[in-house]
Amino acid sequence: MNYDNRTNFMSRLPLLALFYLGGSVADAGPFGLEMGMTIQQIGGNPQQVAPGKYKTTVVPKPHSSFESYVLEVGPHSGLCWIKGIGKNVSTSQFGVELHGAFDELKGKLDQVYGTSKVADYLLPGSMWTEPQYWMMGLLKKDRSLVAFWNASSGAKLPEGLKVVALMTSPINTNTGFVSVEYAFTNEKACDAELSKADDSAL
């Protein structure tokens, strides 16, 4: 399986469906963005890649670890979800360098949000159990390396903020990247708006 997961940049981490993240209007949110912002307020001429989905390289407060950002914006609810897509990391098949990039960014997020919970596991029955197959396991979706910051992890989050998620993704067995996702409390309403708009085409 040899594909670039960046082509699937709009997909959310499945576990995020269980949580929602809210930002306070009074405080600058992730990358300087705030819940409910319109595309006009976000600025930067983002490219629409699907209904309600936009990709951009320009945000108010960019971070050097990320090369692009994906935004979900509802017609009434506004900005409800952000994904920062990291730069390519060249790594061995053991995944040492990718794991290191994950740990480095996790440490920075720990300083901001406090205690996280890490899910680092290989699915039962996977054939990619040897250390040299770490990247192959990730590529075959048998392995996951994810960190969450939320109330159950013991994180001390700003008012309204429910979860932040950091994850690793492969491009091939020698290259991967790290990404971070934020979902605001209006995400459910936002998704419903976009789904209704999509269904109106039927």
Q: Is 126 exposed, middle or buried (0-12, 13-18, 19+ CB in 10 A)?
A: middle
Three-state SS at 117: strand
Please state the domain extents for the chain.
13-199
Amino acid letter, 161: L
Tens digit of each residue's pLDDT (9 = 90 or more) over 40-93: 999 888 999 999 999 999 999 999 999 999 999 999 999 989 999 999 999 999
* Per-residue model confidence (pLDDT) at position 138: 97
Which contiguous run of DSSP H or E holds residue 100?
A: helix 96-113
Tens digit of each residue's pLDDT (9 = 90 or more) over 158-184: 765 678 899 999 999 999 999 999 888
